[in-house]
Amino acid sequence: MDSYLLDWANLLLRWVHVITAIAWVGSSFYFVFLDSSLTPPVDDDLKKQGVSGELWALHGGGFYHPVKFAVRPPQLPAHLHWFYWESYSTWLSGFALFTVSYLWNAGTYLVDKSLMDWSPGAAAAVALSFFVVFWMLYDAICQLFGQRKNGEAIVGALVAVLVCVASWLACHWFAGRAAFLLVGAMLATAMSANVFFWIIPGQRKMVASIKAGEPVDPIHGMRGKQRSVHNTYFTLPALFAMLSNHYSFTWSHPQNWLVLILMMLAGAAIRQFFVLRHGYKLGRNRHPVAYALVGVAVIIGVIVWLKPVPAAVNPAAAVVSPATASGQPASSSFAALQKVVEQRCYMCHGAQLQMKNVRLDSPALVKQHAQAMYQQVVVSKLMPMNNATGITDAERLLVRQWFEAGAPVN
């Protein structure tokens, strides 16, 4: 029952997290587009009001005319919408999901003893420290170098190095799938922290100054814009890192840290293309197609690099016995498979424990879950989790042969 309820919590939290993330990313992308697409106002009345940019748009059968006041409007409206609950809801639901999926069973999902043989508590503590330490270092970089001449280039380079170091450490300390997700959550935490610590407080100070009839310090708008731009470049790398946990060929590679870094680089380059493309349409910069080509080239390079090579299985390592009475080769018989299941699967899917409500300690149950076994053990190689029970390539081959022979159980 506990496992069943945990699965429901996982599903519902994942659902909420995706919904709120769509809202946050959508509004973020829209405002980056809007900021890059504004043109100086033509109407004299708008100029007198202090409008710095305007945009005409057509959507949903109607015309829209958003305008931007760079520092302050002539007067505050009665109703002012704040964009922050999208960010906070996304982070809160994501952290809850991370807790249910990884921290709750840290010994299973975070720890890979071939990398670091530490206790579940220590693994959980170090994982959480990634969020705090990365944010502190990233924030310090922004404050120290962000306002200097060529500061954004320096910040970009230092943050890129910081992300690479964090990715390397995560992939050398944690199980591959957890490492990728952890880096994605780390970036998302920095994004939400930007909103919480800088963007919203700066906007509140601007509004307070206007209400008090005082001059508005433009530094708040500059800092908010800086962090918003950083967030838009973090978005695609963070999304890849989180989604990749469903695709073991990425995080199970021996150089998984490099796979992660290259794919995040590709995402950032592609995002740069879209950001600059808005300005190109207005003649503000050269066509940014080079960034898109770099991103695509990196992805293609990773695809070619990770192309699986048929593994040569040592016949002596496989379980071999005479053909069964049913005529099935020994390598596809249930008797041979059962030895593997007993040794590699019963720990989590036996009489004492049924992870994910899956039990494999009888022929009928193995037959019932044959498709899932093939998918998890042979295709994606997700099971056993972090290969905690040490299944061999020869044993995975045996599962494949048994499934392709029709999954016989007698």
Parent domain of 102 = 2-37+82-305
Helix (H, G, I), strand (E, B) or coil at 252: coil
User: What is the rounded average pLDDT for all residues in the chain?
Assistant: 88
Any domain includes 77:
no
Tell me which residue of 222, 247, 386 sits closest to 303, measured CA to CA.
247
- Same domain? 153 vs 206: yes
Any domain includes 105:
yes
Whether pLDDT at 141 is above 90 = yes
Tell me which residue of 311, 270, 95, 109 sits closest to 184, measured CA to CA.
95
Per-residue pLDDT at 327: 45
Whether pLDDT at 385 is above 80 = no
The residues near 119 (Cβ < 8 Å, ≥ 6 apart) are 107
Omega before residue 40 within 30° of 0, cis: no
Any domain includes 76:
no
- Same domain? 209 vs 340: no
**What mean pLDDT is predicted for residues 116-142?**
96
- pLDDT bracket for residue 361 (50, 70, 90): confident
Helix (H, G, I), strand (E, B) or coil at 188: helix
Per-residue pLDDT at 348: 81
Per-residue pLDDT at 316: 45
- Same domain? 223 vs 362: no
Per-residue pLDDT at 315: 44
- Same domain? 123 vs 247: yes
Per-residue pLDDT at 12: 93
Helix (H, G, I), strand (E, B) or coil at 62: strand
Per-residue pLDDT at 312: 53
- pLDDT bracket for residue 396 (50, 70, 90): confident
Any domain includes 53:
no
Compute φ and ψ for 52, nearest 5 degrees. Answer: -100, -20
Whether pLDDT at 111 is above 60 = yes
Whether pLDDT at 410 is above 80 = no
The residues near 400 (Cβ < 8 Å, ≥ 6 apart) are 374, 378
Q: Tell me which range, 253-257, 356-360, 365-369, is most confidently predicted by mean pLDDT.
A: 253-257
DSSP string for residues in 152-174? HHHHHHHHHHHHHHHHHHHHHHS
Any domain includes 61:
no
Helix (H, G, I), strand (E, B) or coil at 359: coil
Whether pLDDT at 257 is above 70 = yes
- Same domain? 139 vs 245: yes
How far is Cα 310 from Cα 256, in angstroms, rounded to an integer? 19
- Same domain? 199 vs 337: no
- Same domain? 225 vs 106: yes
The tens digit of pLDDT for each residue in 315-340 reads 444 444 444 444 444 556 788 888 88
- Helix ranges restricted to H, 99-199: 106-109, 120-145, 151-173, 176-194
The tens digit of pLDDT for each residue in 170-204 reads 999 999 999 999 999 999 999 999 999 999 999 99
Any domain includes 59:
no
392: alpha, beta or left? (left if phi > 0; alpha if psi -120 to 50): beta
- Same domain? 293 vs 360: no
The tens digit of pLDDT for each residue in 67-107 reads 999 888 988 988 999 999 999 999 999 999 999 989 988 88
- Same domain? 253 vs 148: yes
pTM for this predicted structure: 0.82
Q: Greater confidence, 72 or 161?
A: 161
- pLDDT bracket for residue 258 (50, 70, 90): very high
Per-residue pLDDT at 277: 87
Any domain includes 153:
yes
- Same domain? 213 vs 139: yes
- Same domain? 301 vs 397: no
Tell me which residue of 223, 284, 285, 286 sits closest to 53, measured CA to CA.
284
Any domain includes 380:
yes
Compute φ and ψ for 204, nearest 5 degrees. Answer: -65, -40
- pLDDT bracket for residue 129 (50, 70, 90): very high
H or E stretch covering 57: strand 57-59
Compute CA distances 36 → 32, 39, 282, 289, whole Å: 6, 9, 9, 17
- Same domain? 229 vs 334: no
The residues near 331 (Cβ < 8 Å, ≥ 6 apart) are 318, 319, 320, 397, 398, 401, 402
For the chain, how many structural domains are there in total?
2
Q: 199, 224 in Cβ contact below 8 A?
A: yes
Per-residue pLDDT at 203: 93
Helix (H, G, I), strand (E, B) or coil at 395: helix
Q: Greater confidence, 149 or 330?
A: 149
